Amino acid sequence: MAGILSAIKLTEAGFTDVTVYEKADRLGGTWRENTYPGIACDVPSHLYSYSFHLNPDWSHPFSPGQEIQAYLEQVARDHHVEGLIHFGEEITTCAWNDRRWHLDTVTGHQNVADFVIAATGVLHHPNYPEIKGLNTFVGSVFHSSRWDHGVAIDDARVGIIGTGSTAVQLVSAVVDRAKTLSLFQRTAQWIMPQENPAYRAEERADWSRNPGKLQHLHQTLSELFTSFANGIVNAESPEMAMIADLCRQNLETKVTDPELRERLRPNYRAACKRLVISPNFYESMQRDNAELVTDPIDHIEAGGIRTGDGRLHALDVMVLATGFKVDAFMRPMSVIGRDGRDLAQVWSDRPNAYLSISIPEFPNFAMINGPNGPVGNFSLIEVAELQFGYIMQLVDRVHSGQCREISATQSATDQFESERVTAAAKTIWSTGCRSWYLDDRGIPATWPWSFDRFCAEMERPKLEAFELRP
């Protein structure tokens, strides 16, 4: 998504020497890799679209992953950037030498660039749980982002480990097909109710004929999500109270068995973890063949999962819906900045960057969806477009000859990080839950201010925060 965006915008701006490196054999990133049953966008599709390429044909308000994949491929085709992509070329090293970036790929190709944009994703490296005996299981086991379509789910005894957005989508998609479905829950989730009826053909035809209406819909959704994102950074905001009410009502009204209801009730505040949205998770968990397992997993053995109470949950298929290593970013790619400075060392405690975009002493290098940026229940396409607009202004400084090297100063980066950490303590993500937003210190690794502030910050780089070398 971010690589295609960059290629389109750079080409439109007249850059003729743009290369996109993609280690896989197909574009799409997240949407290429995550093909599990039930995968769908959980922000509205008309918002999860490039602002310059809206799509009248989304089938649902929250469309399936395969449609998003097809959309990204269509956008790349329509904007003629497919030819810029070198597939099967993983960048292994990116080193600043003689005032330019020297790139090495896994196949032995080399290239030299004046400016590098790392659009390598954030939910990209699967997180495999460390559970004793995992490799002794004789059935099929795979991570949700590595779905094995050769494995039969129909009439199988399926176990899902994890309760994030992926697990919730999976439960609803698999429960009617599996013989039994066991959901292994470490932490209960607040679930926001969701309506997702297919769009009617007339609605889609109308958007097709009237691009202004489609633009208006995109704008309305953007404003709605901006107000939501503004509210979420303040744990005491009315938006948070409203979300908490909706989630509580959803649980109270949809789960009829009081014992199950209590086991599904989180013991932390709604939106402390990334909000999970589902039209039918609770209904699915009340099907006769579904079981919520809350006894902790003790170990895995040949026949299935043994929980702490001594019970063996016999399984044919085990799905690890255990998320991603969210602090890897472009690593394991080796990035060597000015004077041999190794990013692996600079980030040895944890990743960090000025405004999540620029790293001191790594000139002419910028990240989209980099560390501590806005993540949450809003469109990362919108975020990437704003970040790209900012990065383009850095590229322009170099391209127009105002400087040859540009990177954030250490003092601006340190000050930003210190203010960010202070602000993060006041957000809903700091109110006492364990989540992938939290870093090793328990501090949310996210943009902790309003979305309005993020938009304002992305409008124009403050040049005093940058070192420009002639």
Ligand X SMILES: Cc1cc2nc3c(=O)[nH]c(=O)nc-3n(C[C@H](O)[C@H](O)[C@H](O)COP(=O)(O)OP(=O)(O)OC[C@H]3O[C@@H](n4cnc5c(N)ncnc54)[C@H](O)[C@@H]3O)c2cc1C
Interface segment toward ligand X; rule CB under 6 A; list 22-30, 199-207, 335-343, 425-433:
22-30
Does 30 interact with ligand X (rule: CB under 6 A)? yes
**Spatial contact of 20 and 81, defined as CB atoms under 8 Å apart:** yes
Report the Cα–Cα distance between both ends of the chain, in Å, rounded: 33
Q: Can you tell me which of 7, 119, 174, 293 binds ligand X, judged by CB under 6 A?
A: 119
Query: How many alpha carbons fall within 13 Å on the CB side of residue 392?
Result: 19
**Spatial contact of 396 and 389, defined as CB atoms under 8 Å apart:** no
Q: Tokens 């948070």 sit at which residue?
A: 240
Distance between CA atoms of residues 270 and 274, nearest Å = 9
**To the nearest whole angstrom, how small is the minimum distance from the Cβ of residue 112 to ligand X?**
16
Contact string 122-161 vs ligand X (x = CB under 6 A): -xx-------------------------------------
Q: Report which of 192, 261, 225 is spatially closest to residue 47, judged by C-alpha positions.
A: 225
Nearer to ligand X, 214 or 277 (CB): 277
Does 117 interact with ligand X (rule: CB under 6 A)? no
Runs of H (alpha helix) within 61-123: 65-78
Q: Can you tell me which of 23, 146, 338, 399 binds ligand X, judged by CB under 6 A?
A: 23
Interface segment toward ligand X; rule CB under 6 A; list 116-124, 132-140, 288-296, 350-358:
116-124
**To the nearest whole angstrom, how small is the minimum distance from the Cβ of residue 174 to ligand X?**
15
Interface segment toward ligand X; rule CB under 6 A; list 20-28, 74-82, 242-250, 287-295:
20-28
Q: Can you tell me which of 6, 8, 9, 29 binds ligand X, judged by CB under 6 A?
A: 29
- For the chain, how many helices (H) and strands (E)? 13, 20
**To the nearest whole angstrom, how small is the minimum distance from the Cβ of residue 361 to ligand X?**
21
Residue type, 120: T
Distance between CA atoms of residues 367 and 15, nearest Å = 19
3-state class (DSSP) for residue 131: coil
Q: Can you tell me which of 322, 379, 387, 430 binds ligand X, judged by CB under 6 A?
A: 379
Helix axes 201-209, 211-232, angle to 10 degrees: 100
Q: Report which of 340, 395, 338 is spatially closest to residue 366, judged by C-alpha positions.
A: 395
Does 21 interact with ligand X (rule: CB under 6 A)? yes
Nearer to ligand X, 147 or 416 (CB): 147
Beta strands per DSSP E along 348-414: 365-367, 405-408
**C-alpha separations of 318 from 141, 152, 181, 294 in Å:** 5, 12, 10, 16
**To the nearest whole angstrom, how small is the minimum distance from the Cβ of residue 432 to ligand X?**
25
Does 166 interact with ligand X (rule: CB under 6 A)? yes
Contact string 300-339 vs ligand X (x = CB under 6 A): ------------------------------x--x------
Does 91 interact with ligand X (rule: CB under 6 A)? yes
Contact string 36-75 vs ligand X (x = CB under 6 A): ---x-xxx----x---------------------------
Nearer to ligand X, 31 or 137 (CB): 31
Q: Can you tell me which of 121, 231, 304, 374 binds ligand X, judged by CB under 6 A?
A: 121
Does 2 interact with ligand X (rule: CB under 6 A)? yes
Determine whether 353 is exposed, middle or buried from the number of CB atoms within 10 Å of its CB (0-12, 13-18, 19+).
buried
Distance between CA atoms of residues 218 and 282, nearest Å = 30
**To the nearest whole angstrom, how small is the minimum distance from the Cβ of residue 383 to ligand X?**
8
Interface segment toward ligand X; rule CB under 6 A; list 33-41, 206-214, 231-239, 426-434:
33-41
Q: Report which of 386, 464, 389, 435 is spatially closest to residue 163, judged by C-alpha positions.
A: 435
Which residues are near ligand X by CB under 6 A? 1-3, 21-24, 29-30, 34, 39, 41-43, 48, 90-91, 119-121, 123-124, 166, 330, 333, 368-369, 379-380
